[in-house]
Amino acid sequence: MHKNPTNSEHHRWSATRDPIRSRNVSQVRSTPLPTVDAARMLADVQDIGLRDHAWTLIPRDEARQHAELWKDLLTRAPEGAQAPAAALAAFSYWVAGDGLSARAALEQIPSTQQYSMGQLITVAVRNGLDPKAFPMPHDMPPDVVAGIPAPSSGAEQARRQPPMPASSPSPGVSR
């Protein structure tokens, strides 16, 4: 289960996410990434938090370009490390309206591997869900994407207990 990062983890993630953000935005183009950058991105998205961050950077209007980026990375992924790139490629293809390519990318996730993002996209593709009706992580508020709980109304807070009476009378108070 993915947990919210501590302050030190948040700093590490922020530092790591900056290269993902810059690569996703600047490298979504027709030329392949240099091998070193491709390896770094493939290594980064093995972490679920970083994979989800990369997921949030896929805007609907650039989904096709992101699909091609993740497809390229998928073809270079070593055995056992394909699932994140396959899931991101599948999501991008699905959002771009290319269900067939989304299915092809999903088939690259080993059948023995339980990969939740791949399973979610498989359900969407198999059931013919309209990707245009899907709320894009790119368009969601950061606290929703990060999984930060909404402020409490207090309803689920423990009830305050009334003060307990003192066991001995206070000085100056008659009974």
The CATH architecture that domain 7-146 belongs to is Alpha Horseshoe (1.25)
Q: What is the dihedral of CA 24, 28, 34, 40, to 10 degrees?
A: 20
Give, in order, the Cα–Cα distances in Å from 51 to each of 20, 24, 115: 9, 12, 12
The full set of domain ranges for the chain reads 7-146
pLDDT along the chain (175 residues), means of 10: 42 47 50 90 94 90 94 95 96 96 96 91 94 80 63 54 62 57
pLDDT at 13: 43
pLDDT at 120: 93
Nearest to 54 by CA among 11, 14, 91, 88: 88
